[in-house]
Chains A and B, each alone.
Chain A
C-alpha cells in the first residue's frame, strides 16, 4: 500500500480507496489461487477488514454428509481455538436464512432477532462463543446456485455493519465463489484426467502382460477373415509361416505354399469343421522351410462372429513352433523302443551265450582230437570259424562285450593292431590291403571292450564297403591315429576305405538302430552301438563319404584322453566316465 496516497487523501476517501484496493487485490489473488484453504482464508480476512467485524468464520456446506452439515472451515479475527472447540451449527434458525434460503442476513443486534435462540441444543450462542451483537451472514453461492458455504461476521457492539459493509462482503463472497468453483472444476478435471490415465495404464499393463505371455509361450497370433480368406499375422506368426508380418495373404495360398502336402488335408478339414460347428480349432502340422528343414507347428483358434448375429465372421488364434516337443516325443518313443529291445537283447544273450560256449568247446575238443582224420579236422575248423562269427554277431548286436569291468589305461595302438589282426584273414580273402599309420603312444582311459568294439565295427564296415552288388573290388583300408591337444586332449582315429561309399539316401540314417544296408547279414546295430560307445566315452564320431569314382568313406573318431580321477576308489571310476 502506498503511504503517500494515503496521506494525501481525506480520511473518508482514504478508507474507501483502501477498501477498493483491498477488494481488487483480493479479487486478483482469488482468481489466480488454486488452493481452497488459501482462497477461503483470504476471502474471510478481506471481508473482516472490509466490514470492520471483530471476528469472522467460514462455514463450509457439506450437507451431503449425514450429521453435522456445516463444518467450521476457517476463522478470522478471533482466536481460532475458541471456535474449534465449539459444536457445529445445525440447519435451523438463523443459519437456515443463509444456508437454505441463500440470503444475506445483516442484523444490528442478532440477540433481538425473533429467530435467535431457536437453534437447538443451545438456544442461541453455545457457551464459550465470542459474544455477538452485530451479525452479518453472506452465503457463498456457486454458479450453479449451490451454497458452497457461508461467511459469517460478528461484533460485540450492536449496529457495526452497514449496507456498504454488506455490499463489500457480498462482492468478496461472489469472488470467493468463482474461485472455489474454479478450484472444484479444476479438481474434477484433474480427477477426470487421472481416471483416464489410470484406465490407459491398466489397458497398457493388460496389453503388456498379454504380449509378455505370448512372448513367454513363443506364441504368434493370427486373425482370419472368412469373407475374404485373408490372414493377418503378427511378427512371430509371420516368421513361423515364412512370410512378412501383416502382409495380405489368403489362408488357402499360405497353406498351399508352406504346409507339408501330407498335412494339408488335415489342416484344411480341421478348419472346415471349426467353421461349420463354431467350436475350437486346434491342429498340428508340418511346415516346409525354405532351408529344406521341416518345422512342426501347433495352431489353435476360436471363431469370431458378426456383431449381433450368429454368423461366423472369421477366426482368431495363435500359432506355436512345437518342433522341439515333437522331436522329444519321437526321441522318447525311440528310447522306449530301445529299452524294450535292450531287455529283449539281454534275455536272448543269456539264452544263446551258454549254448554257444558249449558248442565252441565241443568243436574245439573234436578239432584238437588227434584221432580225427585231417579232412574232418578241416571241416571242424570251418565250423569253428563260422561259430566265431555267430559269437561275434551275438556280442556286437546284443551289446554284451566286456572283458574288464572297470575303465583302465588303454594302449590304443596295440588295440588297433589287435583288431586289424583279427580281421586279417577276412581282408586277405577279399584282396583288401590294410595300412596303419599310428603316432606312437596313443593312449586313453576307458573301457577296453567298448573301445575295441568301436574300432572293430568300423573296420568290419570298411571291409564290407568293398562289396559292390555281387562283385568284390580290391582296394585298401587305411587307419590313421593322431594325438589331439588343445581344448580337449585326446586322440583322433581315422578309418578310411576305398569302398563303395554311402549313398546320399541313407547317410542320415546310418547311426539309427535297426538300419542296415547289408540285407541278410546286418543287424543294423553296429554303427548305432559304435556311436553309443563313442559318446559314452565323451567322444564324437563323424564321417565323410563319396559315391561314384573315386568312392570311399572316412570315419573320424575323437576320444578324449579321460585321465583317471586319482582321488576316487576304483569302483567309482566306472560311474565317473562321461555317460
Chain B
C-alpha cells in the first residue's frame, strides 16, 4: 500500500513550524494538517488520499508509537486515530499526544463497541475524545472534520 501514498506526504513531513505565533497565523490560511492513525494501512492510506483531495494535508502512520513520533514531528491540527491497535492502542497514544499537544483535536475512530468502555476509562483519567464509528462515509467524515 506504500505505493498508494499520496505525493503530498513529503510536503506534510517537511513542514516545520518555527514558532507558536507563526503556527497560529499560518493556521488561518494554511490547510489543516491531519495525522491519520490506523493499523490497517488500506484504511489509513485511503483516508489520507480522500482528505488530501478535500483540502486537508494528511499523513498516515500505522501504529500508536509511530503516531506519537509523527505528532511530535509535524504538530498536526487534528489526529484521526483507530482505537484497537497492537503494541500501543489509540487511547493511550492519544493521551500521550494530548499531553504535549494540548491544542490538537483528537478524534478516535473505531469499528468496535468495546471502544466505548476504553473511552470511558480515558475520561476517568480526565481525557475526553470524540468518537466516530466505522464505517463512516467519506462525505460525512469530511463534514465532521470541517465542523468546529
Contact = CB atoms under 8 A, between A and B. Distances in A.
Nearest to B4: A365
A394 B112 CA distance: 12
A346 B134 contact: no
Given A353-B135, A405-B120, A571-B123, A346 B112 contact: yes
B49 A400 contact: no
A349 B112 contact: yes
A388 B111 contact: no
A354, A356, A384 interface centre (most CB from chain B within 10 Å) = A354
A511 interface: no
Contacts of A400: 111-113, 133
B132 interface: yes
Contacts of A403: 131-133
Interface residues of B, number: 29
B61 to A, nearest CB: 17
B128 interface: yes
B138 interface: yes
Contacts of B128: 570
A146 interface: no
Given A364-B46, A401-B133, A403-B132, 13 more contacts: A346-B113, A349-B112, A352-B111, A353-B111, A353-B135, A354-B111, A356-B111, A356-B134, A357-B134, A358-B43, A360-B138, A364-B139, A404-B131
A302 interface: no
A350 interface: yes
B4 to A, nearest CB: 9
Contacts of B124: 571
Given A403-B132, A570-B123, A364 B50 contact: yes
B112 A353 contact: yes
A502 to B, nearest CB: 30
A402 B46 contact: no
Contacts of B116: 402, 405
Nearest to A364: B138
7 contacts: A346-B113, A349-B112, A353-B135, A368-B53, A400-B113, A403-B132, A403-B133
A571 B129 CA distance: 12
A467 interface: no
A356 B135 CA distance: 6
Interface string B120-144: 1001100010111111111100000
Contacts of A434: none
Interface of A: 346, 349-350, 352-354, 356-358, 360-362, 364-365, 368, 384, 388, 391, 394-395, 399-406, 449, 570-571, 574
A384 B140 CA distance: 13
Q: Which of B131, B138, B139 has the most CB of A within 10 A?
A: B138
Contacts of B40: 354, 358
Instruction: Please provide the 6 A-B residue pairs with the shortest distance between their CB atoms, ordered closest to farther.
Output: A353-B111, A361-B46, A356-B135, A357-B135, A364-B138, A571-B123
Contacts of B96: none
B20 interface: no
Contacts of B120: 405, 571, 574
A429 B119 CA distance: 41
A405 B134 contact: no
Contacts of A388: 137
A491 to B, nearest CB: 25
A370 B49 CA distance: 14
A349 B113 contact: yes
B42 interface: yes
Nearest to B124: A571
Interface in B1-59: 40, 42-43, 46-47, 49-50, 53
Contacts of A350: 84, 111-112
A360 B135 contact: yes
Contact of B135 (A365, A391, A404): A391
Given A353-B134, A402-B131, A358 B123 contact: no
B60 to A, nearest CB: 12
Contacts of A356: 111, 134-135
Chain B CB within 10 A, most for which of A364, A406, A574: A364
A353 B120 CA distance: 21
Interface in B76-115: 84, 111-114
A525 to B, nearest CB: 15
Contact of A354 (B43, B50, B137): B43
Contacts of A357: 43, 111, 134-136
Nearest to A362: B46
A364 B137 contact: yes
B69 to A, nearest CB: 24
Contacts of B112: 346, 349-350, 353, 400
A391 B123 CA distance: 28
B137 A391 contact: yes
B138 A354 contact: no
A405 B135 contact: no
A238 B71 CA distance: 79
Contacts of B130: 404
B131 A365 contact: no
Given A349-B112, A403-B133, A361 B119 contact: no
Contacts of A346: 112-114
Nearest to A390: B135
B23 to A, nearest CB: 29
Contact of A402 (B42, B84, B133): B133
A428 to B, nearest CB: 20
Contacts of A384: 137
Nearest to A361: B46
A384 B40 CA distance: 21
B38 to A, nearest CB: 9
Contacts of B136: 357, 360
A361 B50 contact: yes
Contacts of B133: 353, 395, 400-403, 449
A405 B46 contact: no
Contacts of B43: 354, 357-358, 361
Nearest to B128: A570
